[in-house]
Chain A
Amino acid sequence: MSTTISLTPWDLAIASSLIVFDAILSLVFRLGLHRQILVASARLVVQLVAIGFVLKFVFALKNPAVTLLLILVMVLIAARETAARSERRFKGQTGLAIGAASVASATLVTALFALTTALRPHPWYDPHYAIPLAGILLGNILNATSLSLDSLLGPMAIQRNAVEARLTLGATYWEAATPYVRDAIRRGLVPIINQMSAAGVVTLPGIMTGQILAGLDPLEAVKYQILLMFLLAGGSGLAAAGAAYLAAWRLTDDRQRLRLDRLAPARGG
């Protein structure tokens, strides 16, 4: 990567003037955002520098256990995020458990698939590949999971009468719930479908842009981006389906009732 232009702290300091510009904008137009802008940018710097050091350390170790541990921590944070984002939530830790199960399984399956087929680094758990891969997968999988969860719990709670109408007429719970599960999975898949359709036409995907900026040949960068998009699509599908089915399953019991009492009360009501 001889063509990489290395950035100095001074370069970043100059770029940070744009943050100051945003803050001034907020003051002039009374957006009330200047504090948030400054806090967010400070968080960005601290978080990224910290993860940079963590990655450097873990890359140097090349230890499969440490790599896996780091990925698990990332998965847990993502799972917490999915549970917290949803408009309607389960009581207790159910949401966290569903988020963790679908995020973890989708991430691990997709990452292992990529590491053992397309990428094949040596060793296969090389943190240099495994961790960034898990990271980008997690971002998309988190999105798919929380969209799917939200699109299942919200409509099923709001349309309780419709679901129960089918139950009272003798339908099984899954006959009544499947349309909602289907819609939830569909909603979870929409962002990645949009991303794939827009890639290269409306947007230059982030990974590709980063690699080109870092000096990689555009065609090489494109191949990586295509691989990643396919992985993201697979991961999103797994996560959306997993989250929707687990949540729907948790909303019923052995007598095929609709157990909305397992949801926490709606917020803002």
Chain B
Amino acid sequence: MDATAPTMPRLRIEGLKSALVGPFNLAVQRGDCVGITGPSGSGKSLFLRMICDLDPNQGEVELDGEPRSRMAAPAWRRQVVYVPAESGWWADQIADHFPKDRRAPANDMAARLGLPADIIGGAVSRLSTGERQRLALIRALLIASPVLLLDEPTSALDGDGAARVEAILTERMAAGLALVLVTHDPAQAVRLASQRFVMAAGHLETAP
């Protein structure tokens, strides 16, 4: 970052904390990815949940300079979209999880991620873990939000599947997406992230 011409970060986090974790300070620029690794239970998922305001928290988060506190929670979550490690499904049919006008683009993206053609027409119960993971990611990507918070987005995928996901993410970042990526794979963090941190006991430390 050029200190003489500070650019407004896409996502700015200041003093974000809960009873369990934090405080966190972080700035993510447009087109940047912050990679977070760390042991299970260290607070990585809690951190992402706090950013999208899914758990009670204190502190300020800003999107392009606009404070979260001035936005209604649903509007905030549409712009700072969180994809949890374990995907959630509220209907039996996959198609019911996609608005009608997004089903065609969802199929296109599914094909890019190596999913069977017309997978959207099936039932959720027949999906494998990896298929669910990719469909949940597609669901979130179709919102085209300025910020994505991804929790282990490729944990159930093989090398080829992960590469396809990374290709789409890189593309989106080139278009301005700010990404906060939690991953168990340090190599993935190196490939995607310009800032890398390790979560340890509820605190972020710069990765070695």
Known: A159-B90, A253-B56. A168 touches B82 (CB 8 A): yes
Q: What B residues does A167 contact at CB under 8 A?
A: 54, 74, 77
CB nearest neighbor in A for B80: A168
Q: What B residues does A257 contact at CB under 8 A?
A: 53-56, 73
Q: Is A169 an interface residue (CB 8 A)?
A: yes
Q: Is B186 an interface residue (CB 8 A)?
A: no
Q: Is A248 an interface residue (CB 8 A)?
A: no
Say how far B52's CB is from chain A's closest CB, in angstroms. Answer: 6
Q: What B residues does A258 contact at CB under 8 A?
A: 54
Asked whether, in the complex, the Cβ of A169 is within 8 Å of the Cβ of B54, the reply is: no
Q: Is A203 an interface residue (CB 8 A)?
A: no
- B37-58 vs A, CB cutoff 8 Å, 1 = contact: the mask equals 0000000000000001111100
Asked whether, in the complex, the Cβ of A161 is within 8 Å of the Cβ of B84, the reply is: yes
- A150-189 vs B, CB cutoff 8 Å, 1 = contact: the mask equals 0000000001111111111111100010010000000000
Q: Is A256 an interface residue (CB 8 A)?
A: yes
Asked whether, in the complex, the Cβ of B56 is within 8 Å of the Cβ of A164, the reply is: no
Asked whether, in the complex, the Cβ of B86 is within 8 Å of the Cβ of A168, the reply is: no
Chain A CB count within 10 A is highest, among B86, B88, B89, for B88
CB-CB contacts below 8 Å: A122-155 with B: none
Q: Is A255 an interface residue (CB 8 A)?
A: yes
Q: What A residues does B178 contact at CB under 8 A?
A: none
CB nearest neighbor in A for B136: A165
CB nearest neighbor in B for A165: B88
Count, chain B residues at interface, CB 8 A: 25
Count, chain A residues at interface, CB 8 A: 23
Say how far B108's CB is from chain A's closest CB, in angstroms. Answer: 19
Q: Is B198 an interface residue (CB 8 A)?
A: no
- B52-72 vs A, CB cutoff 8 Å, 1 = contact: the mask equals 111110000000000000001
Q: What B residues does A171 contact at CB under 8 A?
A: 74
Say how far B62's CB is from chain A's closest CB, in angstroms. Answer: 16
CB nearest neighbor in B for A166: B90
Known: A167-B54, A170-B78. A256 touches B73 (CB 8 A): yes
Q: What A residues does B82 contact at CB under 8 A?
A: 168
Q: What A residues does B81 contact at CB under 8 A?
A: 168-170
Q: What A residues does B54 contact at CB under 8 A?
A: 164, 167-168, 257-258
CB nearest neighbor in B for A257: B54
Q: What A residues does B123 contact at CB under 8 A?
A: none
CB nearest neighbor in A for B77: A170
CB nearest neighbor in A for B69: A255
Q: Give bound CA distance, A172 to B73, whole Å.
A: 8
Q: Chain A residues in contact with chain B, CB under 8 A? A: 159-172, 176, 179, 253, 255-259, 261
24 A-B pairs in the complex with CB atoms less than 8 angstroms apart: A161-B84, A161-B89, A162-B88, A163-B88, A163-B90, A164-B54, A165-B84, A165-B87, A165-B88, A165-B90, A168-B81, A168-B83, A168-B140, A169-B143, A170-B75, A170-B77, A170-B78, A170-B81, A170-B143, A256-B74, A257-B53, A257-B55, A259-B56, A261-B56
Given contact pairs A162-B88, A170-B74, A171-B74, enumerate 9 new A-B contacts (beta carbons under 8 Å).
Answer: A161-B88, A165-B97, A168-B52, A168-B82, A168-B84, A168-B140, A256-B72, A257-B53, A257-B56
